[in-house]
Structure 1
């Protein structure tokens, strides 16, 4: 049974699920108005990337039969601990971020009349889980499923995290990051998703492309739905 046939079977099964029983996914927009996160190669704050992708993902999750709990979409949550508190009662938590790189790997160029920094050595998505999460097994299963669907959709995980993090499923871009508050302070399965590297000049433009955002959001939603709806499934030959 090929991955594609399994996925088609899962999606067909999902179409029959009752909306009233839909799992609830907490979508957390990383950073905020005051702490805007990393700055892209063209001077745009990470929070803007995170919020834009979150809106697209929320719609994709609903299209896949899931319910959505929006967290920090306004960018006004100042405390990291407040995010998992607002997710209580959900079935899954995903924090959306966009990645940067250490200063020693930065180069400089002139953009819009100003000096800006960029990198050429790091690009691609990454998924993080915490070994301290109270439901690590589900977190890992969902993370690997999300990563596999993203790869099938043509997205490439970065191998960069092998320099600093222990692999959980490196092939699918999943790494352990134990001390992230939004992952270990939750009471539910959780992942942190880095959509790509906004310090990479080419990838920054790709991450802003609406069609690419829609494809990535659909892959994320498909992976989450497959994990939450179908824990154990017998797939016909």
Structure 2
């Protein structure tokens, strides 16, 4: 069997235009009964050579701004073609910048919004991925208020027919852990009690297996970069914020309710890159050096995900 599999890897393989891995679009139970469920989307199968050549010559804009897209209707569920090889130039990665300019997320110990941290880090990750040949990487910047923006970013990722969805965030703590202090004459809050990155996946995602595998690769690379994960989410002191720790070695947590993880129709992961309410870690997260470390880790994880061995056998 091993010899046969090795021979398969040496055979020439035609990769579809989308270059997708075995990631399946899954709808609701009603959709599953529809006779159209198993048909591939025309968008995936009807590309002509001339169209492909034009696309290669004219790469798409790097940033997707949802205000310009208008209302985005979710496409009907369809099966993605299985590709035995991952072509980096065709792997579609959506880097979701967590929160918006209107709903900024957490506020750091030095009064900087989480959205600012998220945008800076996501841009650096995009640069690294593109430099490594993942030219179909898209930076997703959303506008609008909190909950409504979640559904807008999910719809945009689904309409882009992404293979991987990575949402970039920076962590804080529940209000009960906050302490008061002043920074540059302004009142603020901090908590130096917790620090570290964390990675979240949802079992409600239609491709949980791939989501978890990708999350594991990211978390292992974070550890390889010398970073520690945030262990507090597994502790009862977190109350309603406590999460199931799926791997105590890497720091991958289960968070089923997150809309961007359960509503996206592709493998989806959320990365809390570090705590910005921790005063020491906030300074590190503000530095170009830390952004380089994290972006290098994410890029290494994507490259590992794209290896032919992984595509055929799964992580070993």
| Global fold match (TM > 0.5) | yes
1:69 corresponding residue in structure 2: 138
Please tell me whether residue 96 in structure 1 is matched to residue 168 in structure 2: yes
Q: Matches of 2:302 and 2:254 in 1, distance apart? A: 19
Distance 1:82 1:228, change over 3 A: farther
* CA-CA distance at 1:18 after TM superposition: 5.3
Q: Matches of 2:144 and 2:153 in 1, distance apart? A: 7
1:32 corresponding residue in structure 2: 100
Q: 1:43 aligns with which of 111, 133, 143?
A: 111
2:265 corresponding residue in structure 1: 187
Task: Say if 1:159 and 1:173, in contact at 8 Å, map to a contact too.
Answer: yes
The number of residues matched between the two structures is 216
Q: TM-score, normalised by structure 2?
A: 0.65
* CA-CA distance at 1:201 after TM superposition: 0.2
1:203 corresponding residue in structure 2: 281
* CA RMSD after TM alignment: 1.7
Structure 2, unmatched stretches of 5+, are 1-85, 236-241
Q: 1:174 aligns with which of 248, 252, 255?
A: 252
Task: Say if 1:140 and 1:168, in contact at 8 Å, map to a contact too.
Answer: no
* CA-CA distance at 1:82 after TM superposition: 1.3
* CA-CA distance at 1:150 after TM superposition: 1.0
Q: Which runs of 4+ in 1 moved over 2 A?
A: 17-20
Task: Say if 2:200 and 2:252, in contact at 8 Å, map to a contact too.
Answer: yes
* CA-CA distance at 1:63 after TM superposition: 2.1
Q: Matches of 2:231 and 2:88 in 1, distance apart? A: 38
- 1:131-150 counterparts in 2 under 5 A? 131-150=203-222
Q: 1:157 aligns with which of 229, 238, 259?
A: 229
SS at match of 2:272: strand
2:69 corresponding residue in structure 1: none
2:179 corresponding residue in structure 1: 107
Greater Cα shift, 152-161 or 126-135: 152-161
SS at match of 2:166: strand
Please tell me whether residue 126 in structure 1 is matched to residue 193 in structure 2: no
Bigger strand share? 1
